[in-house]
Structure 1
Amino acid sequence: MTERHRDAALSPSEQATIRELLDADFRQTAARIAMLGRDRAEIVESSALTGSDDEHDPEGTSTAFERAHVQALLDQAVTHLADLELAFERLRDGTYGTCATCGRRIAVERLMILPAATACVTCASGRRR
């Protein structure tokens, strides 16, 4: 297990800012999941109502492609929501902002852009040897 550095703790103001970012991202992601779920349901419903062979429709994409595309976006959003929940847990237990790979502090600037980040830039880019 990697050594955890004492300087990895976030200040109270940084914690408050991060919590706000996580909350906003969580709300946006939950809304995206709801929207994509509705889109997927509409695609499935509309394809059930038509008996046409849309796989060979020269006018556009196939229903199967649209359904797969929406499902992939939905899967990504669900994964991101789970990552945000883990970030909230790390914030509560005091490990938020600590790189899961090397144990050093993740730059606050990185966390402001990617609040669910679990690795510092060096580890995320694979430059650490």
Structure 2
Amino acid sequence: MTEHRPDAVLSPAERAAIREQLDADRRRTTARAAMLGRDRDEIVESAALTAPDDEHDPEGSSTAFERAHVQSLLAQAVTHLADLDLAFERLRDGTYGICAGCGQRIPIERLMVLPAARTCVICAARRR
């Protein structure tokens, strides 16, 4: 892990704004995960009521595909919640806003848009 740099410390106003963004993102993601969990449960229940050899709904889309799609979205939401938890930890320990790749400060504008971001734009682009 990169060393904490004094010039990367967030101002009190920035810390408050980031905490607000993280809290809002957590609320949205938690609600999304709950909705997706209900959707997945409904798909599973619906599939249990149909004949095992009939995997297609009247519109022709596969219930297996829909179930997999919803499960994938749910997994993404759960992963994002874990990323938010890590961001809260970084905020508490003073390393929030420091790029995990290069150790430089992540611009506040990036953090306001992607509050769980661990890298600056340059390092994020290198990973692609």
Pairwise TM-score range, normalised by the shorter structure: over 0.9
Structure 1 position 101, deviation (Å): 1.1
Q: Secondary structure at the match of 1:79?
A: helix
Q: Contact conserved, 1:4 with 1:104, CA < 8 A, in 2?
A: no
Residue in structure 2 matched with residue 53 of structure 1 by the alignment: 53
Paired residue type of 2:15: Q
Structure 1 position 52, deviation (Å): 5.3
- Distance in structure 1 (CA, Å) of the matches to 2:89 and 2:49: 44
Structure 1 position 126, deviation (Å): 0.9
Percent identity over the alignment is: 76
Matched, 1:21 2:21: yes
Residue in structure 2 matched with residue 80 of structure 1 by the alignment: 80
- Distance in structure 1 (CA, Å) of the matches to 2:14 and 2:86: 18
Residue in structure 2 matched with residue 121 of structure 1 by the alignment: 121
Structure 1 position 68, deviation (Å): 0.2
Name the CA shift for 1:98/1:13 in 2 (closer, same or farther; >3 Å). same
Q: Contact conserved, 1:43 with 1:63, CA < 8 A, in 2?
A: yes
Structure 2: which 5+ residue stretches go unaligned?
none
- Give TM-score, length-normalised by structure 1: 0.91
Structure 1 position 6, deviation (Å): 2.0
Q: Contact conserved, 1:54 with 1:62, CA < 8 A, in 2?
A: no
Structure 1 position 92, deviation (Å): 0.4
Residue in structure 1 matched with residue 90 of structure 2 by the alignment: 90
Per-residue CA deviation, residues 30-67 of structure 1 (Å, 9 max, x unaligned), is 00010000000000000001115344667321110000
- Distance in structure 2 (CA, Å) of the matches to 1:88 and 1:36: 24
Q: Contact conserved, 1:98 with 1:106, CA < 8 A, in 2?
A: yes
**Number of aligned pairs?**
127
Structure 1 position 104, deviation (Å): 0.4
Q: Contact conserved, 2:26 with 2:84, CA < 8 A, in 1?
A: yes
Q: Contact conserved, 1:3 with 1:102, CA < 8 A, in 2?
A: no
Name the CA shift for 1:36/1:102 in 2 (closer, same or farther; >3 Å). same
- Give TM-score, length-normalised by structure 2: 0.92
